[in-house]
Amino acid sequence: MKVIRNGVIVTATDMYEADILIEQDKIAMIGKNIQVDGAEEIDAKGCYVFPGGIDPHTHLDMPFGGTITKDDFESGTIAAAFGGTTTIIDFCLTTKGETLKNAVQVWHQKAKDKAVIDYGFHLQIAEVTEDVLKEIPSIIEEEGITSFKIFMAYKNVLQVDDETLFKTLLTAKEHGALVMVHAENGDVIDCLVKKFLAEGKTAPIYHALSRPSALEGEATGRAIQLTELADSQLYVVHVTCQEAVDKIAEAQSKGLNVWGETCPQYLVLDVSYLDRPDFEGAKYVWSPPLREKHHQERLWHALKTGQLHTIGSDHCSFDFKGQKELGREDFSKIPNGGPFIEDRFTVLFSEGVVKGRITIHQFVDLVSTRSAKLFGLFPRKGTIAVGSDADLVIFDPNVERIISAKTHHMAVDYNALEGMKVYGEPITVLCRGEFVIKERQFVGKPGNGMYLKRAKFRPYQWR
Ligand code: URP
Ligand code: ZN
Ligand code: ZN
């Protein structure tokens, strides 16, 4: 047994001072001056106690862009835990012709003995054949995978056509799953990439110039239109721009089941980073790309007004040396992705709550609660309540610190937020009642993270 005392408990709806009694993996009691014999005492004086962060968008140990992401399930989840995240949902990739079951087994092998926090999988859909359609119910029922990912970009690699998206939307509706889309118009991007390369324009900035925000807006609108036609449900990942937010907001005002995620990088960095000299711009190459600064204000406004709903890290880390460098002569060969699993939680607190852009309850909803609801984990995760898993973050809001690759725990050789001053730090982090981070030290164990079978999608419950 453990008791957390003297902290201020903050959930998506409440804030109050109370003790939390943890028995085994669950929260057993919340109240004033809880008296129990033999419980380990944890002092949270001066700190907030938040529900453990849930990162709904990670890519660990993933082959991509001719290489493999630097962080695997061990380094990635250790970094996540240091950052206040106790659950991740990672994207399991599939290939055409392979059974879904096999693809999921491959991802289980990657995670099983390595994860230090809990994890689930989303399943990428590469094709919708009769065999795939037959397998989907068992993937939902037996594996508890209740979200499917469709890429509308990365032509000739991950991109699928509208028929596949539409059939996936219909199938998800029938069986109780949420469809996630990477919404960019991959065909037009491919034309622009070829045009720039033919003109000898090979520098990292052309990654951004070949993927204008209009193409994200178009794909977002198309996915929403198909969702409405299929009477289905849609979650748009890594929303970056005004055009896409406007489409999502419009869909919501029509009462459609459409949600949107953004990521810390789009809130604090802008397209000028891709223009940094000596190929340093490659550190900021991911998709969709960073945008002009004015889009940031639209994203913050959307978070504040409930037009965007979650914060994912889209953690997809590649070293600058040896990996990003694959694209020195050709921006289209730079592996797409950046390292954000560790800083997602604190950056949103610091830039959002401390700077007065969102409330502390919106913060909890965005980094934890809403993902638990949308992805079938609530109320087991995503809140602080009797009977919920004891996934807890003791967070000191008074710490001032500078983000740096010198001190981060991700395996990657740079930090895209290098030099950024943030307020707040997770001091102690528990996952299912066990310390993973104790007084800023990692005390967890690879393999302790548990695979999470998730409940079916229930739109009527979580709007
Ligand atoms: O550039 C990115 N975002 N890499 C990860 C894959 C994806 O598109 O989410
Ligand atoms: Zn994507
Ligand atoms: Zn991603």
Using alpha carbons only, give the angle 346, 311, 71 rounded to the nearest 5 degrees: 75
The pLDDT tens digits of the residues spanning 196-207 come to: 999 999 999 999
Ligand 1: centre distance to CA 335 (Å): 9
Residue nearest to atom 7 of ligand 1 (CA): 287
Tell me the pLDDT band of 1, cut-offs 50, 70 and 90.
very high
Pocket test for ligand 1, best of 147, 314, 334 (most atoms within 8 A of CB): 314
Q: Which long-range contacts (CB under 8 A, 24 or more apart) does 188-191 make?
A: 188/215, 189/153, 189/155, 189/215, 190/155, 190/156
Q: What is the pTM of this model?
A: 0.98
Asked whether residue 463 carries a pLDDT value surpassing 60, the answer given is no
The strand pair at 15-17 and 8-10 is best described as antiparallel
Ligand 3: centre distance to CA 90 (Å): 9
pLDDT of residue 437: 99
Asked whether residue 460 carries a pLDDT value surpassing 90, the answer given is no
Burial 172-182 (b: 16+ CB within 10 A, else e): bbebbbbbbbb
Pocket test for ligand 1, best of 62, 155, 274, 316 (most atoms within 8 A of CB): 316
Q: Which tokens in the block code for residue 205?
A: 């900035």
Mean pLDDT value across residues 161-175: 98
pLDDT of residue 462: 59
Residue nearest to atom 8 of ligand 1 (CA): 287
State the ligand closest to the CA atom of 287.
1
State the ligand closest to the CA atom of 286.
1
Instruction: Give the C-alpha separation, 221 to 183, whole Å.
Output: 9
The pLDDT tens digits of the residues spanning 91-113 come to: 999 999 999 999 999 999 999 99
Ligand 3: centre distance to CA 385 (Å): 31
Mean pLDDT value across residues 425-442: 98
Tell me the pLDDT band of 322, cut-offs 50, 70 and 90.
very high
Q: Is the CB of 336 under 6 A from ligand 1?
A: yes
Q: Is the CB of 345 under 6 A from ligand 1?
A: no
Q: Is the CB of 182 under 6 A from ligand 1?
A: yes
Are 287 and 181 in contact, with CB atoms under 8 Å apart?
no
Q: Give percent of the chain with pLDDT exceeding 90.
A: 99
Q: Is the CB of 432 under 6 A from ligand 1?
A: no
Tell me the pLDDT band of 458, cut-offs 50, 70 and 90.
confident
Other beta carbons less than 10 A from residue 76's beta carbon: 36
Pocket test for ligand 1, best of 151, 238, 336 (most atoms within 8 A of CB): 336
Residue nearest to atom 6 of ligand 1 (CA): 337
- Any idea which residue has 């990088």 for tokens? 265
Assign residue 428 a region (left: φ > 0; alpha: ψ between -120 and 50; beta: otherwise): beta
Residue nearest to atom 1 of ligand 1 (CA): 286
Give the largest Cα separation in the chain, rounded.
Answer: 74
Residue nearest to atom 9 of ligand 1 (CA): 314
Mean pLDDT value across residues 234-244: 98
Amino acid at 401: R
Q: Return the half-sphere exposure (C-beta side, CA atoms, 13 A cut-off) of residue 76.
A: 33
- Any idea which residue has 């004033």 for tokens? 32
Residue nearest to atom 4 of ligand 1 (CA): 337
Question: Angle at which helices 213-230 and 242-253 pack, to 10 degrees?
Answer: 20
Ligand 3: centre distance to CA 316 (Å): 7
The pLDDT tens digits of the residues spanning 356-412 come to: 999 999 999 999 999 999 999 999 999 999 999 999 999 999 999 999 999 999 999
Instruction: Give the C-alpha separation, 37 to 50, whole Å.
Output: 25
Using alpha carbons only, give the angle 237, 241, 242 rounded to the nearest 5 degrees: 125
Q: What is the mean pLDDT of the chain?
A: 98
Residue nearest to atom 5 of ligand 1 (CA): 337
Residue nearest to atom 2 of ligand 1 (CA): 337
Query: What SS3 string covers the chain?
Result: CEEEECCEEECCCCEEECEEEEECCEEEEEECCCCCCCCEEEECCCCEEEECEEEEEECCCCEECCEECCCCHHHHHHHHHHCCEEEEEEEECCCCCCCHHHHHHHHHHHHCCCCCCEEEEEEECCCCCHHHHHHHHHHHHHHCCCEEEEECCCCCCCCCCHHHHHHHHHHHHHHCCEEEEECCCHHHHHHHHHHHHHCCCCCCHHHHHCCCHHHHHHHHHHHHHHHHHHCCEEEECCCCCHHHHHHHHHHHHCCCEEEEEECHHHHHCCHHHHHCCCCHHHHHCCCCCCCCCHHHHHHHHHHHHCCCCEECCCECCCCCCCCHHHHCCCHHHCCCCECCCCCHHHHHHHHHHHCCCCCHHHHHHHHHHHHHHHCCCCCCCCCCCCCCECCEEEEEEEEEEECCCCCCCCCCCCCCCCCCEEEEEEEEEEECCEEEEECCEECCCCCCCCECCCCCCCHHHHC
Ligand 2: centre distance to CA 228 (Å): 22
Instruction: Give the C-alpha separation, 195 to 317, whole Å.
Output: 28
